[in-house]
Amino acid sequence: MSDLTTLEQAILEQISQARDEAALEAVRVAALGKKGSISALLATLGKMAPEQRRSEGAAINQARDRIAAALSGRREVLKAAALDARLARETIDVTLGLREPPSESGRIHPLSQVWDELTIIFADMGFSVAEGPDIETDDYNFTRLNFPVGHPAREMHDTFFFQPRDDGSRMLLRTHTSPVQVRTMLSQKPPIRVICPGRTYRTDSDATHTPQFHQVEGLVIDKGSHLGHLKWILHEFCKTFFEVNEINMRFRPSFFPFTEPSLEVDVQCRRDKNEIRFGEGSDWLEILGCGMVHPNVLTACGIDPDEYQGFAWGMGIDRIAMLKYGMSDLRQFFDGDMRWLSHYGFKPFDIPTLSGGLSSWLLPEGSAGPHSDGPAWPELSAFSP
Ligand code: DAH
């Protein structure tokens, strides 16, 4: 047997033994690749006498063709075997139920929903949204809002302070959204009409207080703005937000350093066991603070109080969310408990609109949510984690 025949048989043997496409490829490279054994034989042809070259060349080429044919034949067999193995491995159970898509199973946190609801309501009244940083200066959080240094009203805000800087000034986590009023007045010319929803912080924790919570501030600055406008805006807001046709509100005198006069606002409601209905009853629930912007604040923010006046209000977003949707413990807002979220959360595509309805309830068919004329609210105790 010639060397060529022996080599060819050895290669054909390797081809038939190759167990997968990678092994087959290795055989191909070793035989027909640039440095392969058959290629090496072909390279010797140049040095042969013409006669010998003709006969040897034909023999080597034929051997190469047979090897190439054997390679492609084996490749087909291995491919088919690989496919069969895959088909056997990857079985699909067509009787399995479809997995719910995220649009069905995901939930929007009630806080985000309420944030959207109130933004829509105020946007419809012509308010734009202003934002500010969570880490504030003492100046914007207190001093320019007419809390003089050392004033006891500062102590009412349980403030998270950062370490003092070299110059003695201290940054803090804003205790309310009112510093965004300051930022807005310093950066915009009146007339101003903004709401400022955002995160706020106080060192406080119980069922209705968490160290981080949310407020929405409102600010209107114009030449003729007055308390009548403020009352109308808040009245319209409450009716729309609580989705009732009429709502009674009570404005009580109060104190905030940055407003004069200052008022606190209660809404009328009826508390029945665990239910709250708005627009009826003999109970009152405090929902916000408001007032006419103090002239000292206008001056500190570069606005002439002899030319302009304005009003402002501040409201806890978590609080109105709890009131509207019947949660009793604020801390659960931050627990990330999926059971709570799937109970109180909203479907992602149920985006609140004024025309389509603000709240689309995740309640059984027939329940109407917080309408005073609808069926009753769900019992708060319906959900127990
Ligand atoms: N900043 C107040 C607080 O956190 C809430 C507030 C009351 C804001 C009256 C206002 C306002 O703008 O006018 O307690």
Mapping DSSP onto H, E and C, the string for 61-82 reads HHHHHHHHHHHHHHHHHHHHHH
Nearest to 68 by CA among 60, 80, 78: 60
Lookup: tokens for 97: 């139920």
Of 136, 137, 138, the residue nearest 154 (C-alpha): 138
Can you tell me which atom of ligand 1 is nearest the CA of 219?
12
Q: Compute the distance between CA of residue 124 and CA of residue 126 in angstroms, rounded to an integer.
A: 5
**What dihedral do alpha carbons 11, 16, 21, 26 form, nearest 10°?**
-20
- Asked if residues 154 and 161 have their Cβ atoms less than 8 Å apart, the reply is no
**How far away, in angstroms, is 357 Cα from ligand 1 center?**
28
Which atom of ligand 1 is nearest to 177's Cα?
Answer: 1
Q: What's the distance, CA 330 to chain centroid?
A: 19
The pLDDT assigned to 95 comes to 87
Residue count (the chain): 385
209 - beta bridge partners?
206
Residue 31 burial class via C-beta count within 10 angstroms: exposed 0-12, middle 13-18, buried 19 and up:
buried
Ligand 1 centroid–CA 261 distance in Å is 12
pLDDT score recorded for residue 190: 95
Closest ligand 1 atom to residue 200 Cα is 4
C-alpha span between 370 and 327 (Å, rounded): 13
Pocket test for ligand 1, best of 146, 156, 217 (most atoms within 8 A of CB): 217
Contact call for residues 115 and 214 (beta carbons, < 8 A): yes
Q: How far is the CA of 278 from the centre of ligand 1 (A)?
A: 23
Q: Give, for all 385 residues of the chain, the pLDDT tens digit.
A: 578 899 999 999 999 999 999 999 999 999 999 999 998 888 888 888 888 888 888 899 999 999 999 999 999 999 999 999 999 998 888 888 888 888 888 999 999 999 999 999 999 999 999 999 999 999 999 999 999 888 888 888 899 999 999 998 899 999 999 999 999 999 999 999 999 999 999 998 888 889 999 999 999 999 999 999 999 999 999 999 999 999 999 999 999 999 999 999 999 988 877 777 888 888 898 999 999 999 999 999 999 999 999 999 999 999 999 989 988 888 999 999 999 999 999 988 888 888 777 765 444 344 344 433 433 333 333 323 3
Q: Beta strand pairing status for 212-222 and 309-316? A: antiparallel
Cβ-proximal residues to 219 (8 Å cutoff; 6+ apart), any chain: 130, 181, 184, 185, 192, 193, 194, 195, 196, 293, 310, 311, 312
Crossing angle between the packed helical segments 227-242 and 110-124, to the nearest 10 degrees: 130
On the 0-12 / 13-18 / 19+ scale of CB atoms within 10 A, 121 is buried
Residue 76 makes CB contacts below 8 A (sequence gap 6+) with none
**Mutation test of ligand 1: which of 159, 175, 176 has the most ligand atoms closer than 8 Å to its C-beta?**
176
In one-letter notation, the amino acid at residue 323 is: L
With beta carbons less than 8 A apart as the criterion, state whether 202 and 175 touch.
yes
Query: What's the pLDDT score for residue 185?
Result: 98
Please tell me the distance from the alpha carbon of residue 158 to that of residue 172, in angstroms, as a whole number.
11
Question: Which protein residue has the closest C-alpha to ligand 1 atom 8?
Answer: 314
Residue to probe by mutation, ligand 1, list 219, 263, 290, 301, most atoms within 8 Å of CB: 290
110-124 and 317-325 are packed helices; what angle lies between their axes, rounded to 10 degrees?
110
Write down the pLDDT at residue 357: 74
Ligand 1 neighbours (beta carbon < 6 A) = 176, 178, 217, 256, 259, 289-291, 312-314
The sign of the torsion formed by the CA atoms of 244, 314, 203, 135 equals: positive
Which residue, 272, 286, 268, 278, is CA-closest to 359?
A: 278
Contact 269, 288 (CB under 8 A): no
Describe the crossing of helices 50-89 and 3-17 by its angle, rounded to 10 degrees.
Answer: 10
Query: From the CB of residue 153, how many other CB atoms can be counted at a distance below 10 Å?
Result: 15
Q: Whose CA is nearest to atom 7 of ligand 1?
A: 289
